[in-house]
Amino acid sequence: MPGAVHPPRASLVLAVTILACLAERRWEEARRDFNAKMSEGLDARRLADGWARMASLVGGYEGMGEPFAHRVADHTVVEIPLRFEAGEATARVVFDEEGRVAGLWLRP
């Protein structure tokens, strides 16, 4: 795929860990590696609300596919396909230059 890179394995592992924490409703643990801006803007309650919204659209979580990564400017972006009862979604975890989470999106 054009633009795909092989980022540090740690980014892939951390992105998968964050999604596993969300699926297991371990909201605070999911936030552990957020940068300061993310920590201020996305608390545990908002993470729980976002996960609940996703479940309302596509049903209960069933699993994740193979993560892949690419670079966007100074960031490493890890995309993870997610499987739910009634559909699929994609999680996007963005890492800053220090390897901290600078963005997190769930898209049905």
Is there a domain that residue 1 lies in?
Answer: no
Does pLDDT of 1 surpass 60? no
User: Residue type for 52, please?
Assistant: A
Is there a domain that residue 3 lies in?
Answer: no
The better pLDDT of the pair 17, 8 is held by: 17
Alpha helices in 24-98 (DSSP H): 27-30, 36-41, 44-58
pLDDT of residue 102: 97
Which pTM value belongs to this model?
Answer: 0.89
Is there a domain that residue 48 lies in?
Answer: yes
Per-residue pLDDT reduced to its tens digit, 10-41: 899 999 999 999 999 999 999 999 999 999 99
Is there a domain that residue 100 lies in?
Answer: yes
Domain that holds residue 54: 9-107
pLDDT of residue 7: 56
Is there a domain that residue 55 lies in?
Answer: yes
**What is each CA distance from 4 to 46, 67, 71, 73, 104, in whole angstroms?**
31, 12, 7, 13, 19
CB 106 within 8 A of CB 89: yes
Domain count, the chain: 1
Whole-angstrom Cα distance, residue 21 to residue 85? 19
* pLDDT (mean) for 84-108: 95
Is there a domain that residue 21 lies in?
Answer: yes
Helix, strand, coil content of the chain in percent (nearest 5): 35, 35, 30
DSSP category for residue 106: E
pLDDT of residue 5: 45
Is there a domain that residue 97 lies in?
Answer: yes
Per-residue pLDDT reduced to its tens digit, 44-74: 999 999 999 999 999 999 999 999 999 899 9
Neighbours of 71 (CB within 10 A): 12
Is there a domain that residue 42 lies in?
Answer: yes
